[in-house]
Amino acid sequence: MIQILSLLVSVSLLSFIEYILPPILYIIVFPGLIVVLLMLFFMIWLERKVAAKTQLRFGPLYVSKRFGGVIQTVADLIRFSFQEFIIPAGADVFAYIQAPGLLMAFGLLPLIFIPVGPYYANIFPANYSLLIVIPLIIITPIYVILLGWASDNKFSFVGSIREAFLVISYEIPLILSILSMILLYGSVNAINGVSFQIGRGIPGIVLNPIAAFLFLVVMIRTTGRFPFEISEAESEVVMGPYTEYSALFFGIGMSLPYIELYSFSLLFSVLFLGGWWPIVPSAAAASGVVGGLLLPGLVVFIKALIVMAFLVFLRAVYPRYRIDQAITVGWDQALYLGFAAVALSIALVWSGLV
Amino acid sequence: MTGRKNNRIRGHVDALATGFKYLAEPNRMTLNYPDESMNLKDNYRGFFAVKDKTCIGCSLCEIVCPPKAISMLDLTDAGGKKKKRPMIDWGLCIFCYFCVDICPTDAFQTSQVHDKAFYSETEYQTVHGEPMQYPYDYSKRPDYKEIYESFHDVAPDDPSAGSKKVVPKFDKKRGIKYEHPGQP
């Protein structure tokens, strides 16, 4: 009896480690919630610090002075958690409360469908990963618009309308740039894309630099980095769609662009920077959690971190585009670049060069 | 058109290069304030207080004060004698020091403290009266004697007392540079 019980326990434990733990690890630890939170703390601090350093200032310093004020963001979080949550009199209460939650959910969802290691194929069906990621990335701005409309505030409304204009003008270039990589890799499975890059020994950014550049520009636009920080322009529309929000809901609004930045950067490093390239796990190693998920994931994460650091650095350099300038870039140059990227991919595939 | 476009691309590249240059060699101009503070000139005009023993209550400071920051309070001293003493509203004071100059008995205790900060609103109000209503008649406040007691004879503490004193110098490469006077 005891033997049977112990057998049952060991079998369930094994199956737990083998089948149940990896998805939990994927969602909760890496690249999921815990790493997202740490990345948020670090990135917001880095953005402020780098911008300050470049602009002859000190930046956050006094919270943990020895480490250059690195836990300033934690202090901000504590402040947000103890603030009063105010609902404006004219607000559409239901939409006003639910929009930030949905925004957060849809901001985090793409992370599940971006493979950070070959082990990913065992825990989630990876066959259509890119096809799922694109709509999930595109759907978040709808909730930004909802949030601005629900606030019953002129600044919120103007900010959300700006967001809507920009989303429409940069959606097609985004889809075109991902489409050109799908054509090149011959698959909508991002793992196949990475093995394509590792097999040829050429990262995607060299194969199709136009698509990579376009993706980078759209990434800057979607995550509201400078020079496209138009919908939240502080000197023009206070805080854009998030103007009326306070407490943790404002924190969600403030941190959402960074979460989007994170998922975009992971996607960028998977699609264009060779994924987990220096580490090429063998078939046996790829089926283990450490060799198939953690080590490749670390490489992808470091690449994404470098991309994020670059985009965050742009705040120090650029002023802000006017809304009409940004829309012109979206419908004019970016659209042409998108078609050029697709044409380049088709040319590469037809000519048999890759 | 192509020329303009080329310029635009070059502008982006130049901007990024300049940004990276400053990131690699930070050229900070901000004074790291509570740790370092500016070495002030001798005639710098800061907060002041009235020496209660020396003041004769002549109201000249009240008359001369341009923004009408000084108002005279009717007080009674320990011996039951009536006296008038000036009360200063720091929200109005422009630190012109006319009151210090005109005082016939030299009753003003001056200091170079200019950067007083307060931890609470109550502290600010007890030391400096109600900041919201200008000009303010202090004698209408029930606690005006306590306000006066907390204010006279002692100028506020210097919050930057323990800091390194620095002197701003013009520098051709950096623009502004802070030097410690002790250093060569």
A56 to B15: CB separation less than 8 angstroms, yes or no: no
- Under 8 Å between Cβ of B76 and B86: no
Give residue B139's Cα distance to chain centre. Answer: 25
Task: Choose the closest CB to A317 out of B15, B26, B32.
Answer: B15
CATH 3.90.700.10 fits B48-151, yes or no: no
B28 to A54: CB separation less than 8 angstroms, yes or no: no
Task: Choose the closest CB to B23 out of A50, A58, A61.
Answer: A50
Crossing angle of the two packed helices A209-222 and A154-185, in degrees rounded to 10? 160
Shortest CA distance from B20: residue in chain A: A54
CA distance B175 to chain A (A): 11
Position B136 pLDDT exceeds 70:
no
B32 to A56: CB separation less than 8 angstroms, yes or no: no
Q: Report the phi/psi class of residue B77: left, alpha or beta, with left for phi > 0 and alpha for psi in -120 to 50.
A: beta
| pLDDT at residue A176 in the model | 92
Q: How far apart are CA A105 and CA A136, in angstroms?
A: 10
Task: Choose the closest CB to A57 out of B16, B23, B28.
Answer: B28
Query: A217, A229, A298, A215: which is closest to A257 by C-alpha?
Result: A229
Mean pLDDT of B154-168: 73
What pTM was estimated for this model as a whole? 0.79
Q: Which residues of A touch B29 (CB under 8 A)?
A: 56-57
Q: Does A309 touch chain B (CB under 8 A)?
A: no
Give the sign of the dihedral formed by CA A261, CA A263, CA A266, CA A267.
Answer: negative
| pLDDT at residue B139 in the model | 61
Give the start-to-end residue ranges of the domains of chain B: 2-38+168-179, 48-151
Give the sign of the dihedral formed by CA A18, CA A19, CA A24, CA A29.
Answer: positive
Cβ count near A229 (within 10 Å): 22
Q: How far apart are CA B86 and CA A106, in angstroms?
A: 64
Counting Cα atoms < 13 Å in the Cβ hemisphere of A219 gives 27
Position B143 pLDDT exceeds 70:
no
**Which A residues in the span 251-270 are in contact with B, Cβ-Cβ below 8 Å?**
none
| pLDDT at residue B128 in the model | 45
3-state helix, strand, coil in chain A (%, to 5): 75, 0, 25
Q: Which residues of B touch A316 (CB under 8 A)?
A: 19, 22-23
Give residue B31's Cα distance to chain centre. Answer: 17
List residues in chain B touching A: CB distance below 8 A. Answer: 15-16, 18-19, 22-23, 26-30, 32
Position B184 pLDDT exceeds 50:
no
Per-residue pLDDT of chain A (354 residues; tens, 9 = 90+): 888 888 888 878 877 777 777 788 888 888 888 999 999 999 999 999 898 888 888 888 888 888 888 888 888 889 888 988 888 888 888 888 888 888 888 888 888 888 888 888 877 777 888 888 888 888 888 888 888 888 888 898 898 888 889 888 899 999 999 999 999 988 888 888 888 888 888 888 998 999 999 999 999 988 888 888 888 888 888 888 888 888 888 888 888 889 989 999 999 999 999 888 888 877 777 777 777 788 888 899 999 999 999 999 998 888 888 888 889 988 988 999 999 999 999 999 998 877
| B53-84 pLDDT tens trace | 888 889 999 999 998 888 887 877 777 888 88
B19 to A313: CB separation less than 8 angstroms, yes or no: yes
- Under 8 Å between Cβ of A158 and A97: no
| pLDDT at residue B154 in the model | 64
Task: Choose the closest CB to A318 out of B15, B28, B30.
Answer: B15
pLDDT band of B147, cuts 50, 70, 90: low
Helix (H) / strand (E) containing B83: strand B82-88
Alpha helices (H) along B89-157: 98-102, 121-128, 144-151
Q: Which residues of B touch A313 (CB under 8 A)?
A: 19, 23
CA distance A183 to chain B (A): 29
Instruction: Tell me: ipTM over 0.85.
Output: no
Counted residue by residue, chain B has a size of 184
| pLDDT at residue B103 in the model | 92
pLDDT band of B140, cuts 50, 70, 90: low
Phi, psi of A277 (to 5 degrees): -55, -55
